[in-house]
Amino acid sequence: MNYNIRGNNIEVTEALRDYVVKKLGRLEKYFDSTAATDANVSLSVFRDEHKVEVTVPFPGLLVRAEEASENMYASIDQVVEKLERQIRKYKTKVNRKFRQDGTIRTLENGITPELETDLSDDDGGFEVVRTKRFNLKPMDTEEAILQMDLLGHSFYVFSNAVTDQVNVVYKRKDGRYGLIEPE
């Protein structure tokens, strides 16, 4: 795995870099091939808060987590534990789905983020300042909800494997989930 470690308001020392590499290396056991995977790690300090953000696009699975505490090493430990929980949860659900369906399911969601989309309100109109493009892998609603939760987003666009149409799942304020389908 390749590690892209950057610091905001903190110098990334060799000891800190080694600690991040050692801890994130624990995630490699969950996947067959991680040689071409890039782990993006952002370490930042603001006042007394030491924050760690990690994004790792494993083959077919994008995992992301962030943690903050009063100690950078503790934040790194917490974020790695969070990532491990996400991966185990995902793999458990996929394996359960495989046993129920009797079909082969892979850990590929086909998402290849290129750019993000943000809208800004200038002079009463909206301007698209960034665009995000990705491939839609056919999946069922349950898998889409799981992907949305893993990414920490409030919605997720996917290709419904049952209807072969583009759908959106979203998290409601009451904690349950909604599904938007075209007519």
What is the full DSSP assignment across 46-112? ETTEEEEEEEEEETTEEEEEEEEESSHHHHHHHHHHHHHHHHHHHHHHHHHHHHHH-S---S-----
> Rounded to whole angstroms, how far apart are CA atoms 15 and 76?
13
Assigned superfamily of 2-101: Ribosome hibernation promotion factor-like (3.30.160.100)
The pLDDT of residue 75: 92
Task: Write down the domain spans for the chain.
Answer: 2-101, 118-180
The pLDDT of residue 42: 92
Which DSSP state fits 25? G
Q: Give the DSSP H/E element, type plus range, for residue 178.
A: strand 177-180
Task: Supply the pTM of this predicted model.
Answer: 0.56
Q: Would you say 27 and 87 are in contact if contact means Cβ atoms under 8 Å apart?
A: yes
CATH class held by domain 118-180? alpha beta
Residues of the chain predicted below pLDDT 70: 32-35, 58-60, 97-126
Cα separations in angstroms, 149 against 49, 85, 134: 25, 12, 18
**In one letter, which amino acid is 145?**
I
The pLDDT of residue 93: 74
The pLDDT of residue 18: 94
SS3 (DSSP) at 38:
strand
